[in-house]
Amino acid sequence: MTSLHHRPNTALLVVDVQNDVVANAFHRDQVVANIHALVERARGQKVPVIWVQHADDNLVEGSDGWRYVSELQRLDSEPLVHKKYGDSFEDTTLESELATRAVGKLVITGAQTDACIRATLHGAFVRGYDTTLVSDAHTTEDFSSYGLPPADKVIAHTNMYWTWQGGPGRKANVDETANVDFAPANNEG
């Protein structure tokens, strides 16, 4: 139950599935296929799909690397939120897009697990949203050469970590693509 009053709806958030972001991502093709399946299911259930697209000095707006992967096609009616920080809420139009649609529950997919996905999950949760991380619909590349765990371990850790999140009036959970529930948030407000 979201702590956001009068926000019963659910939205699917697709974060940064851009050419350069996922070019070397762990299980890239399967993750993109899972996101595609979720987008189609959300559209079929009239659940808003909101796209987030990152730009910075290394991911130049308008470049081929900045574009979304060809397997995922946004409809003109679906909002596109441009961002420059890890948290998709930070200095963007995301909150107003969600408020306009009375969204209190987010289903989160995309890349990269250890950066923008985690930042967006935390950003959503502290703002009062119920959050579902789709365990097999987020990914990252292998940064073990920098001393980090391999990508599969980062993904597994994030999935495990997010199952333990909780807070007053809101909940976090993790589900596989096949089990994602787009049912409205349960709030009394």
User: What kind and span of H or E run contains 36?
Assistant: helix 28-44
Domains of the chain: which residue ranges?
A: 9-179
Q: Is the pLDDT of residue 186 over 70?
A: no
User: Per the CATH hierarchy, to which homologous superfamily does domain 9-179 belong?
Assistant: Isochorismatase-like (3.40.50.850)
3-state secondary structure (DSSP) of residue 15: strand
Please give the C-alpha separations between residue 153 and each of 93, 114, 121, 144, 150, in angstroms, as whole numbers: 32, 11, 18, 10, 5
| Amino acid at site 123 | G
| Greatest C-alpha distance within the chain | 48
Structure confidence at residue 188 (pLDDT): 47
Strand 170-175 and strand 166-167: the pairing is antiparallel
Which region among 2-11, 55-64, 65-74, 153-162 has the lowest average model confidence (pLDDT)? 2-11
Report which of 135, 151, 145, 155 is spatially closest to residue 25, judged by C-alpha positions: 151
Task: Note whether 70 and 43 are within 8 A (CB).
Answer: no
Task: Note whether 116 and 15 are within 8 A (CB).
Answer: yes
What average pLDDT is seen over the chain? 95
Q: How far is it, in rounded angstroms, from Cα 125 to Cα 122?
A: 5
Task: Note whether 3 and 182 are within 8 A (CB).
Answer: no
Task: Note whether 116 and 16 are within 8 A (CB).
Answer: yes
Q: Is the pLDDT of residue 187 over 70?
A: no
- List of residues 6+ apart from 145 with CB closer than 8 A: none
Task: Give the pair of three-digit tokens for residue 118.
Answer: 């985690």
Q: Is the peptide bond before 112 cis (omega within 30 degrees of 0)?
A: yes
Q: Is the pLDDT of residue 1 over 90?
A: no
Q: How far is it, in rounded angstroms, from Cα 171 to Cα 10?
A: 13
Q: Is the pLDDT of residue 141 over 50?
A: yes
Structure confidence at residue 3 (pLDDT): 82
